[in-house]
Amino acid sequence: MDPRRPETPLARTRRARRVDRALAERYPDARCELDFRNPFELLVATVLSAQTTDVRVNQTTPELFDRYPDAAALAGADVRDLEEILRPTGFFRAKSRAVLGIGQALVERFGGEVPARLEDLVTLPGVGRKTANVVLGNAFGVPGITVDTHVARLSQRLGYTTSDDPLVVEKDLHPLLERRDWTMACHRLIFHGRRTCFARRPACGACPVAALCPSAGIGENDPERAAAMLKG
């Protein structure tokens, strides 16, 4: 792309879809990296993933869901027991109160089931649009844009948005991709952010979308050194 010429909305849309196709080739296994078996487990795991890694959450949730397999069981949990289980995830007191509140709210207002509407999900303790879109997209098949730190960072680097506000980023991404692709496109951006387009020093020389990225060149440009930086 030519940085000297303003990009039209149509050109940006075409470029965004080319980027997504290229990332699909690089990351054919892109997916939600939280382990879950049902919407309840994904909802709780996503809340727990704040300020920690998916790996740490996946190490913690088996014991949690063994003791509290559904909303009714979680609603009756002792918060001190939850704190002990969730301690490894960080901010465990706040997270324990949040998941306890989620269990109670699901039982009291939704018959113990996770609702499949964003408007309902965001009324649950500790659940914002990001968590709601994760649950809708991955547990219910409802397309959504999930703006985590990786999606926000890459959206700016790729010239999709100039905003730091997750809601604005979400709105800016909506018209750039087919609605049916929203969930998977976010997974691919997250994979790319974790494996190639790092926050401090991206591996530009090994990036499959460098030719389409207005920020190309801000990181390591030597192909061999960049390839050595790749993760996953």
**Rounded CA gap, 202 and 229, in Å?**
9
Q: Which of 139, 165, 189 is the last residue of a domain?
A: 139
How far lies 135's CA from each of 37, 64, 70, 78, 222, in Å?
12, 18, 16, 25, 39
Contacts of residue 192, defined as CB under 8 A and 6 or more positions apart, other chains included, come to 23, 26, 27, 150, 154, 209
Q: Are residues 128 and 149 in the same domain?
A: no
Q: Are residues 53 and 98 in the same domain?
A: yes
Please tell me which residue in 2, 54, 81, 130 is annotated as part of the active site: 130
Question: What residue has token string 């989620």?
Answer: 102
Q: Which of 139, 171, 203 is the last residue of a domain?
A: 139
> Which band of pLDDT confidence, cut at 50, 70 and 90, is reported for residue 232?
confident
Indicate which CATH number applies to the domain containing 202: 1.10.1670.10
- In the residue annotation, 130 being an active-site residue is answered as yes
- In the residue annotation, 54 being an active-site residue is answered as no
Whole-prediction pTM: 0.93
Q: Are residues 125 and 67 in the same domain?
A: yes
Q: Are residues 51 and 135 in the same domain?
A: yes
Q: Are residues 56 and 108 in the same domain?
A: yes
- Compute the 3-state secondary structure of the chain and give helix, strand, coil in percent, each to the nearest 5: 60, 0, 40
Residue 45 in any domain: the answer is yes
- For residue range 83-119, what is the model confidence (pLDDT) as tens digits? 999 999 999 999 999 999 999 999 999 999 999 999 9
- Count of structural domains within the chain: 2
Q: Which domain holds residue 64?
A: 39-139
Please tell me which residue in 148, 165, 172, 181 is annotated as part of the active site: 148
